[in-house]
A = this chain, B = another copy of it.
Amino acid sequence: MAGILTVTFSAGAYGDWQIQRTTSVTGESLPTARRLSISEAAAVNNGYTWQLRGVVSNPRYSTAVELKQLAAVSPPLGRPEAKVAALIPIKKSDVWWTMAQDERRAIFEESSQHIRRSMNHLPAVARRLHHSRDLGEPFDFLTWFEYAPQYADSFETLVSELRTTEEWKYVEREVDVRLVRGY
């Protein structure tokens, strides 16, 4: 992934994914909607209930060793068996963003083991991170996860664990949108 890829998530009446539930984890939720469409463009669709944009951009915390380990076991999006998905938009606090790179990295991985914990769930869970903060969006990140229905319990373990970490003390808004592929 060299250039950036802009992705637009539009919730409303249309889209390949059916929204099963929308939960506020921290702060204000998103309005409920029936379906979600994902466009790999800075699209503006009419008639959506909410729309969030992000860019697939360069790695921010991973070391070269970690990137190599991740690349070896990371599956692509769109596997036929990956019929369920989660979209988790997150906004971190000003305190997080004013910290230096080494401080954020230490909390992210050395303390919270964000990469190591996630790696335990590869290749079962396909994941794509979209950066939104520089776009002036309401969230800083939109993370998209896809996995097979039989992996659902393990996925809950991952998100529950992450929410107990030091990193999550800096999360000031988090919404958890769960989806099923198809009609």
Chain A residues with a Cβ under 8 A of chain B: 1-4, 6, 42, 55, 57-67, 94, 97-103, 105, 131, 133-136
Asked if residues B57 and A134 are in contact (CB atoms below 8 Å), the reply is: yes
Residues of B close to A6: CB separation below 8 A: 136
Residues of B close to A67: CB separation below 8 A: 100
Distance, CA A114 to CA B160, complexed state (A): 40
Asked if residues A101 and B134 are in contact (CB atoms below 8 Å), the reply is: no
Asked if residues A59 and B134 are in contact (CB atoms below 8 Å), the reply is: no
Distance, CA A97 to CA B58, complexed state (A): 6
Q: A63-B101, A100-B64 are in contact. Are A94 and B134 (CB under 8 A)?
A: no
Distance, CA A6 to CA B133, complexed state (A): 11
Residues of B close to A64: CB separation below 8 A: 99-100, 102-103
Asked if residues B61 and A101 are in contact (CB atoms below 8 Å), the reply is: yes
28 CB contacts below 8 A, A to B, read A1-B98, A2-B97, A2-B98, A4-B133, A4-B134, A42-B136, A55-B134, A55-B136, A57-B133, A58-B97, A58-B98, A59-B100, A59-B101, A60-B60, A61-B101, A62-B100, A62-B101, A63-B100, A63-B101, A64-B99, A64-B100, A64-B103, A67-B100, A101-B105, A131-B134, A134-B134, A134-B135, A135-B135
